[in-house]
Amino acid sequence: MGRTQPAIRASFQELLSRMRTEYKDALMSKGRREAFDKLVEAWSSELGAISYAESLSLMDLILLTGEVDNRTFLEYMKARLDIIDKKMNELQNLDSRAS
């Protein structure tokens, strides 16, 4: 029996092609176009997970993957901020002792 649905990779490439011409090219801000490219990188790197999940639509899956990528970055930045905050508190304590 032949496939009635195109392979997820082919569907993904077709969707990306449409999104690039119908969406990315219409974005006014260069920064947003660059952000779109970063999302494409995240989606592409997790195509295995996207292919594995069968219960969601392709668009739902790439949006979820983008959100997971954003959350990963947010958690990384939060951890970095916690380190910076701790070091600033230590410096303030040293400064207050020296005064």
pLDDT bin (cut points 50, 70, 90) of residue 4 is low
Polymer length of the chain: 99
How far, in Å, CA of 8 to CA of 15, rounded?
10
**Which structure tokens are listed for 24?**
């990315």
Q: Is residue 67 part of a domain?
A: yes
According to the model, what pLDDT value does residue 33 have? 94
Tell whether 90 is covered by a domain.
yes
The Cα–Cα gap between 63 and 32 comes to 16
Q: Give the pLDDT score at 56.
A: 86
What is each CA distance from 31 to 8, 12, 25, 90, in whole angstroms? 29, 24, 12, 36
Residue 90's domain comprises: 8-98
Q: Answer whether residue 2 is part of any domain.
A: no
Residue 55 covered by a domain = yes
What pLDDT does 98 receive?
Answer: 80
Q: Does residue 1 lie within any of the structural domains?
A: no
Residue 3 has pLDDT above 70, yes or no: no
pLDDT in tens, 46-99: 999 988 887 889 999 999 999 999 999 999 999 999 999 999 999 999 888 887
Looking at residue 71, what is its pLDDT? Answer: 94
Domain for residue 53, yes or no? yes
**Rounded average pLDDT over 20-42:** 93
Asked whether residue 31 is assigned to any structural domain, the reply reads yes
* Radius of gyration over every alpha carbon of the chain, rounded to an integer in angstroms: 21
Q: What is the rounded CA–CA span in Å between residue 24 and residue 30?
A: 10
Cα separation, 30 vs 50, in Å, equals 28
pLDDT of residue 76: 96
Number of domains in the chain: 1
